[in-house]
Amino acid sequence: MSTKILILLLVSVSLSSIAQIALKTGVSQPHVTLAMDSGSHVNAAMAVFFNIWVIAGLAIYLFGAVLWLFVLVRVEVSMAYPFVGLGFILTMILGKFIMGEAVSVTRLLGTILISVGVVFVSWR
């Protein structure tokens, strides 16, 4: 795998993790939570889909998906897809430091296992 493709792959996976944080930020805002708890599907949909964080998260996902397509053109899917596991690691780190989420020992060990699996799968 060339350095250029590896960079595209890592950026795509990173964008996916960043998109998760943006989406979580959007749906965690008080007015969105209230709308979702109101029982009105219309109010909930309006609050979610017109939230700037949700819109940004979806746009980031889209850009990451476009990059992913460039990766898939040049790399076997069985080689590229295990790198998606790195998104678990990055999302956990972002969740901890940006969202203040707790990271248990079990979650940390599971994430390390994913990392080891990515290394084994991508090792030639």
Q: In which band, very low, low, confident or very high, does the pLDDT at 79 lie, cut at 50, 70 and 90? A: confident
Place of tokens 């060990």: 109
Report d(CA 89, CA 92) in Å as an integer: 5
Predicted local distance difference test score (pLDDT) of residue 124: 65
pTM, whole model, 2 decimals? 0.86
Alpha helices in the chain (DSSP H): 3-27, 30-37, 41-49, 52-74, 77-80, 85-97, 105-122
Q: What is the pLDDT of residues 44-70, one digit of tens each?
A: 899 999 999 999 999 999 999 999 999
More confident residue, 77 or 17: 17
